A and B are shown apart, each in its own frame.
Chain A
Amino acid sequence: MSALENTSPKLVALQHALEHTGHLVPAQNPLDRFVHHNPLHAFEHLPFDEAVEEAAQVFGTEPWWPEASYQQAFATGRIRERDLTWAIERAVKPGPVAGVVERTDLARARLRFPIEGLRGEAVDWRLTETPALREVRQDLPGEVRACLVAEAGGDAARAMRALWDVAERRAPGLARHVVPPASGVRVRDLLVDAGRADTDRLVHPVLIRWSAGFLDHGVSYWPMAHRDQPFVQAFAAHFAGGVDIGRPWLRTARQIARRVSTEHWTAEDLLLHVLEAFGHEAAAWDDVLLRSAQALSGWAGMFQRLSERPDTAPEHLGIHTTLADFLAVRLLLDLSAAEYELGAGSGTCMARASALSRKQAASEEPDRAWSLFQLAQILGLGAHRLGELSDAQLQTLYDEARALDDWTRRRIWHEAYEQRFRVETLDAVGVHTRRVSDRKAPAVRVQCAFCIDDREESMRRLLEETAPWVGTYGVAGNYGISMYYKGVQHGHPVALGPAGFEPRHLVVEQATGGAPSQTRLSALAHHQLAVSSQTLFRGAMVALGGALSAVPLSMRLLAPKLHAGLIRRPMPTETELVYEREGDEKDEHGLYVGFSLAEQIDIVMGTLEFMSLLRDFAPLVCCFGHGSSSMNNPHEAAHDCGACGGGRGGPNARLFARMANDPRVRAGLAERGVHIPDETWFVGGYHNTADDAVELYDLHRVPATHQALLAETRTALDEARALDALERCRKFENVPLGVTAAEALEHVENRNEDLAQPRPEYGHCTNAICFVGRREWSRGLFLDRRAFLCSYDPDVDPDGDILGRLLAMAVPVGAGISLEYWFSVVDPTGYGCGTKLPHNITGMVGVMDGHQSDLRTGLPWQMVELHEPVRLLCVVEATTERLLEIAGKNPAVGRLVTGGWVQLASLDPQTGELQFFQDGGFVPWRPENTSLPRVPSSQAWFAGTRGLLPPATIVDDSEVG
C-alpha cells in the first residue's frame, strides 16, 4: 500500500490535519538553543483577549491569572479603584439591571466580592458551621452591611435568616443552567468518560520511551538503531519482530507494525490506516490529530521543531523527525490500547466506545439559593427587597450576575491591572521627557553600545551615572551578524545570530598565544570516569575510589566560586578571529568561510543605522554582547542573548568592532555617507548578566593614544557592574538588604557557580517596556530593569526606513520575550514548564518532570515568579502617522499592535507629546500624575527595597540649579 493508492481527498484532509496540528504544538527549540517566542503564535491573527481565551479552550490552560491574585493586587494597591472603574466602564454597558441595580455597580460588586460556587454538602456546612446566617459578609463595606441589617432593625442574625429564607424560596424558580460535559473526540476520551481505563496510561510510557530513544542526542550509552529511517519505520523495525511479554494490549500494534515494516509504509500510510481503523470521519481528523498531539504536546512539538529547523538540534545526527511520524506511532499505540480495552466486538473503536454509557452527566451550576443569598448581600439587597422582585426581574438580575463569569471577571481585572502599569509608566515617561530640554547634554567621550535587552537597562543607567561622560546605545546584540562561530573553547560551531535564520557564514577563533594542550587528555579521562561509573565492572572500580568525590562535593556546595576557579581550565591568552573571505569558498557544510568586504560594509552600516549612531562618533566606542552562564540550570540558554538565537553574543560584538575598525570598511561607509573619524576606535566586549563580569576583546590592537581613555572606561565599567550586581541582588531574597556593591558582586559571582541555586539570575523577568528613541529622552529615568531600550534618532531617518526595519526586529522579539513570560506566569504549568526542581534532562533536547513525562516547554517558575503579566508597552519616538504607516506596511508588526499583543505609544519627536494606541487608533494620553520622584542616584532609590519600584528621575550633577 502506498499513499498514492489512497483516494487523494483523504490524503489532502490528512495533510491539512497535520498542518493544522503542526501550527498548534509548541515551537520550542532544543534547550541549548532556547529562544523566546510567543507561545500563542498560532493565534496572533486574533485580538489578544479573544486569543487567550480561545487558546485556553484549545489547550486546556488558564487564560488569565487566578482571581485571587488580582484581588490581592487590589488589596496591596497595585490595582486602584480608578483602574477598576476604568476597566469596568470599558467592559460593561452602563444601564439599569432589572430596575434594582446599575450594571456597572453589579460588575464592581461581582469583581470585588467573590461568590463561592458551593454545591451540596458544602452549603449545609457553611450554613451550620460558619456565621453565614448570623452575620453579614465581613468583607462588605460598612454602608452595605448597615443597609442589609437595617431592615431587621439592626439585628444581623434576623436579617440574614430572613434573607436566606427568601433566597431558598426564590431559588427554585430560577431557570436551571446545565453545562453539558465537554465531549471528547479521541476514543480514549470516550473511554475515560465511560469510567473505563485511561489508555494513555498504557500508551505513554512506551511512546515516551521510544520517542526519547529516537530523539536522543547523546545521553544513552547505546543509541537506538535504525535511526537513519523515519520514526515510523524505526519503531516498526523494533516492534515487528522480537519478543513481547506481559503486554497483551500491544497485540494489534505488533500486527500492524509488521505490515509497516514489510510493506514500507510511510507515516501517512500508517495514519490513514489507523484513522480508518478507529472509525474517525475525515472531517474530525483535524481535531483528532490535534488532541492526540496535545496529550504529549512537548514531544509532538519537538518532532515538529526538529523537522522544521534541523539545525537547532544539539548535534547533527541526520535523523528525520516529522510530526506525522510521531502521530502515526502515537495513534497506532492508541488504537492497540483501545482495541484491547474495548475487547472483542464488531464495529469500529469509535462506534463501540461511543456506545458506552457516559459517566458524567451534565454538571449543574452551583447551588442557586446560596448564589442568590450571596448576590443579594454583595448588592445590599435585603430580604424584603429581594422578596418583592418579580420573577422576571429576579431572573434578569441572576442571569446578568452569572454572565459575569469567571473568565469575564478575570479579563476585567486584568485590564485594570495593566492600566495601572500603563498609567505609571506613560506618566513617568511624560514627566521625564518633558524635562529633557532642561538637561544639559553631557559631553560624551566614550560611547558604549549594549544589547537592547532589558537586563542592560540598569547597566547602562548605572554606567551613565558613574561616568556622565559615557553615552550609551541600544542595539540588537547580534550586531547585525549571523554566523556559525567556532571559538577556541567550542567543540563545534555554534549559531550566533537572529533566531529566525540559519547562518550561512563561518567564523573561527584561533589561538595565537601558547594554547594549553593538556585539556584534551584530562577531559577524556574525566569523561571516561563519568561513563565508567555507570557501568558494571569499571563502575565498581570507580566507586571504590568514590569517596574522593566528597572533596568536590563539599567544596562546590560550600564555596562554589573557589571550586570553580580551581577546576577552570586555562584559556589561551591571545586569540584572533578569522573572518575575512576573499572569494566564494565554502566549507564542507556549505558555509561561507568568513565575510567578504562588501558583506562587512553592509553589516557595519546596518548596525550603525540600527543604533542611529551615524555621526558624532566619540574617540572610543565599546560594543558589548551579552550572555549568561550558570550551573544546574537546564534552561541556561534561556538567559543568553535572544538576539543571538540563545547564544552568547560576545563574538558578535568583537567581530563587529574588528570590522568597524577596518579602514577599508570605513571607506565603504564613507561612500554611503557615514564618516567615522580616524581617531575613533571600536572595542568589542562581553557582559555576563549572571555574574556581571565584563570582558573587553582585542585590547592589544587598541592604539596607544586610546589607552588612557580605555583605562578610565574600564574603571567606570567595573564600578557600574558592581552597582548592577547590587541592584540585581535586591530581588534575591537570600541576599540581605544591606549589602555593599562589592559584597553583591561577590555574591553574584558565587551564585552562578552554585549548584544549589535555581535562580542564577532572573533573566527577562519583569520586562514590560520597550523604548525606541533617543537616549536623551530616557537617560536618567529609573526603569527597574524592565525596559528594552532601542536607540533611534528620527533626525537621521527622515523617511522612516530605519524605524521600519528597527520595529520589524524589535517588536516581534520584544513581544516574543514578553509574551513568553506573560503566559508562563499566568499559567505556570500549562504554558510554563512548572518548577524546575524535578526537571530531568532527556536526550539533550529537553526536560521532563521527574521520571517520565511530557517534554516540558515554556519557562520554569523560578524564572518568572517575580514577573508581572503585563503586555509589552512600546514607546516609540515617532509621529503617529509614521507608526500607522509602518504598522500598515509590515503585517508582522501591524498584527501585534492592532491585535493588542503589544501596547504602543507614540512620543512625538518634536513636542514630546504622548499618544496611546487604543481601539484601533491613537488617542492623546491624559496623564494622571504630573510629577515623578526625584532621587540623586539609582542606589538611593532602590536601597532597602525588594519589590518592583515605580519609575523615578535621577537628578544628576549636570542638572544642579
Chain B
Amino acid sequence: MSLDVRAAAAALVVLALVLARSRSHARSRGLVVGVGLVLLGIALAVEGAPDWLIRVDPVSQPRLIACGVGLMAVFAVLPRRFSSAENVVGLVFLALAHIGLVVAPEGPPVMTAWALSCVLTALALPKGPARRLAIPYLTLAAGAGVAGLVLGGTAGQALVVLAVGVRLGVFPFHSWVVGAHEFAPMALAVGVTAPMGAIGLVARSPLGFDGEIAVLAIGGLAVAALITAGLAVVQTGLSRAVGFLTVSIATVVFLGVLDADSIGHLGGLMMWSLTSLSLLGMGLVAAALQSRIGDVDLRDYRGLLHRTPTFAALFLLFSMAAVGAPGTADFASEDLVLHGGIGHHPVLLLLFIAAISAQAYGALHLFFRVFFGPPEAGFVPDALRRERTVLLAIAAVLVIAGLAPQLLLDGWLPNTDAVTSLVP
C-alpha cells in the first residue's frame, strides 16, 4: 500500500476527530465516526487477512475508504432532526452491507451480502412513499442478482447486470431512486443511493465488449444516461433533478466498470470511487439547502449565490467533478474509460460522449437555476462549520486527484495486474 493512501487516511482521521467534536448531536455523530474509523482501519490493516474471510484487492480497498468517508460526510450534513437512532443505525448497516459486497469472497457470501444490501436499502429509507416505491424495485434487484449468481453463464451475467442496473436506478428502473430523493430527506436519500455500493457486484466481472449483446447493453446504458440527463433538465424541483442527475451519472460509471479492457476497467473503477465522492458532495450540498428552505423550486432562478457563496462554489465544483470537468478527479477516469474498450466502437463512443456532455449541461443548468437569478430575499444560512469541513475535504481529494491522478493511481498500480487478471 502506498504512502499516499496512508496520508489520506490520516487526514480522514483528523477530519473524523473534528466531526466528533461537533456539538450538535454528539452521540450519534460519535457512533458514526467510530464506524467510519473502523472501516478505515480495516482498509489499512487487512492486507494480511485470509482470503476466505475478506478479499482485499484494488477493488475493495478504495471502496472501504470511500465508504468510510461517505458515511462520515453524510452524517456531518444530515440535519440534526433526521439523526434519529433509526436512521443512523440504518445507514451504518447499509454501509456495512455494501462493504460486505466488495470484500466478501465469491459464492454464497456475495449472494448474502447482495440480498442483505437490498433489504437494508429498503429499511434505510424512511417509512412511507419512498420505501413503498423502493420495495418492488429492490425485490427485483435482489431476486435477479441472486438468480444470476446462482445461474452463472451468459444468462446469469445478464441477470446480474439487470440486478445492478435496477439497484442503481438505470433508466427505466430509475423511479425509486428519484422517488427516494423526492420523498425522503435528501441527506438520507443521498446516503442510500449515492455511494453506489451495488456496483461491487460486477466490479470483478466486466462484460466483454465484443459480444453483440454486450455492445447492445452498453449502447442501451449510454442512451439511458442520455435520457435521464434530459429528464434532469426539465425538473421543477431540486430534489428530483439531483435524483435524475445522480442516476444518469451512475449509469455512466456502471458503463465504465463493465468495460473489459483493462485500461477502461481501471478507469471505471477509479470513476466508481471518485464519482461516488463527487456525487455525494453534490447531493449533500443540495440536501443542506433542502434542510434550510425545503425543496428548491427550479421553475424560477433562485439566486442563492449571495446568501450561500460557499455552497455555491462547492456545488459548482462537485457537479463539474461529477461530469468530468478538467482539473477534477473524474476527468482522468473519464479519459481512461474513453480510451478503454468504448473507444473501439465509434457509435458507442459518440453516444457515451453525448451522454456525458448532456450531463455537464444538466449539472451547470442546475447550478445556474439554484444559485443564480434575482437574489433570494429571505436569509439562508451558509455552510455550518461541520458541513464546510467535510465538504472541503471531499473537494480537496477531488482536486488533488484531478491535477495529479498519478498519486491516486499509485495506490492501485502495484495491483494493476490484479485488476487486469480480473478481466476474463
Contacts and interface: CB of A to CB of B under 8 A. Distances in A.
A599 interface: no
Contacts, number: 35
A199 to B, nearest CB: 16
Interface string B378-396: 1111001000000000000
Interface string B79-119: 11100000000000000000000000000000000000000
B79 A128 contact: yes
Contacts of A122: 292-294, 378, 380
B378 A117 contact: yes
B291 interface: yes
B308 interface: no
Contact of A121 (B24, B292, B299, B379): B292
Nearest to B291: A125
A193 to B, nearest CB: 12
A122 to B, nearest CB: 6
B290 interface: yes
A129 interface: yes
Given A129-B24, A129-B384, A124 B81 contact: yes
A120 B292 CA distance: 9
Interface in B371-420: 378-381, 384
Contact of A116 (B79, B379, B384): B379
Contacts of B384: 129
B386 to A, nearest CB: 10
B236 to A, nearest CB: 9
Contacts of B379: 116
Given A129-B24, A129-B384, A121 B290 contact: yes
A116 B291 contact: no
Given A116-B378, A129-B24, A129-B384, A121 B293 contact: yes
A754 B384 CA distance: 44
A488 B294 CA distance: 67
Interface residues of B, number: 15
B116 to A, nearest CB: 32
A71 to B, nearest CB: 13
B290 A129 contact: no
A43 B252 CA distance: 61
Interface string A183-200: 000000000000100000
A125 B378 contact: no
Contacts of B299: 195
A129 B80 contact: yes
Interface in A117-145: 117-122, 124-125, 128-130
Nearest to B185: A121
A121 B80 CA distance: 12
A342 B24 CA distance: 53
Interface in A194-224: 195
A46 to B, nearest CB: 27
A119 B378 CA distance: 10
A130 B81 CA distance: 12
Which of A117, A120, A128 is packed against the most chain B CB atoms within 10 Å?
A: A128
B81 A128 contact: yes
A119 B294 CA distance: 9
B294 A121 contact: yes
Contacts of A118: 378
Contacts of B293: 120-122
Contacts of A130: 381
Contacts of A128: 24, 79-81
Interface in A97-127: 116-122, 124-125
Interface string B59-82: 000000000000000000001110
Contact of B291 (A117, A119, A121, A195): A121
A116 B299 CA distance: 25
Contacts of A125: 79, 291-292, 381
A881 B291 CA distance: 65
Contacts of B80: 128-129
Contacts of B381: 125, 129-130
A129 B24 CA distance: 7
A129 B82 CA distance: 12
A373 to B, nearest CB: 16
B376 to A, nearest CB: 12
A406 to B, nearest CB: 10
Nearest to A118: B378
Contacts of B291: 121, 124-125
A468 B308 CA distance: 57
Contacts of A121: 290-294
A835 to B, nearest CB: 14
Interface in B276-334: 290-294, 299
A186 to B, nearest CB: 19
B79 A129 contact: yes
Nearest to A129: B80
A116 to B, nearest CB: 6
A130 B378 CA distance: 17
Contacts of A119: 294
Contacts of A120: 293-294
Contacts of B378: 116-118, 122
A809 B81 CA distance: 66
A258 B107 CA distance: 79
B254 to A, nearest CB: 33
A117 B384 CA distance: 21
A178 to B, nearest CB: 19
B105 to A, nearest CB: 43
A457 to B, nearest CB: 37
A116 B379 CA distance: 8
Contacts of A195: 299
A195 B81 CA distance: 33
Which of A117, A120, A121, A124 is packed against the most chain B CB atoms within 10 Å?
A: A121
A125 B379 CA distance: 12
A121 B79 CA distance: 11
Nearest to A124: B81
A901 B290 CA distance: 46
Interface string A236-256: 000000000000000000000
A399 to B, nearest CB: 23
A130 B382 CA distance: 12
A324 B381 CA distance: 48
Nearest to A134: B23
B148 to A, nearest CB: 42
Contacts of B81: 124, 128
A27 B345 CA distance: 65
A555 B24 CA distance: 59
Which of A116, A119, A124, A129 is packed against the most chain B CB atoms within 10 Å?
A: A129
Contacts of B79: 124-125, 128-129
A935 to B, nearest CB: 41
A716 B384 CA distance: 61
Which of A117, A122, A130 is packed against the most chain B CB atoms within 10 Å?
A: A122
Contacts of B24: 128-129
B83 to A, nearest CB: 9
Nearest to A116: B379
A121 B379 CA distance: 13
Nearest to A127: B81
A954 to B, nearest CB: 43
Contacts of A117: 378
A118 to B, nearest CB: 8
A554 B80 CA distance: 57
Nearest to B83: A128
Pairs A-B, 6 closest by C-beta atoms: A128-B80, A121-B294, A128-B81, A120-B294, A125-B292, A125-B291
12 contacts: A118-B378, A120-B294, A122-B292, A122-B293, A122-B294, A122-B380, A125-B291, A125-B292, A125-B381, A128-B81, A129-B79, A195-B299
Given A120-B294, A128-B24, A129-B24, 15 more contacts: A116-B379, A119-B294, A120-B293, A121-B291, A122-B292, A122-B380, A124-B81, A125-B292, A125-B381, A128-B79, A129-B79, A129-B80, A129-B381, A129-B384, A130-B381
Interface of B: 24, 79-81, 290-294, 299, 378-381, 384
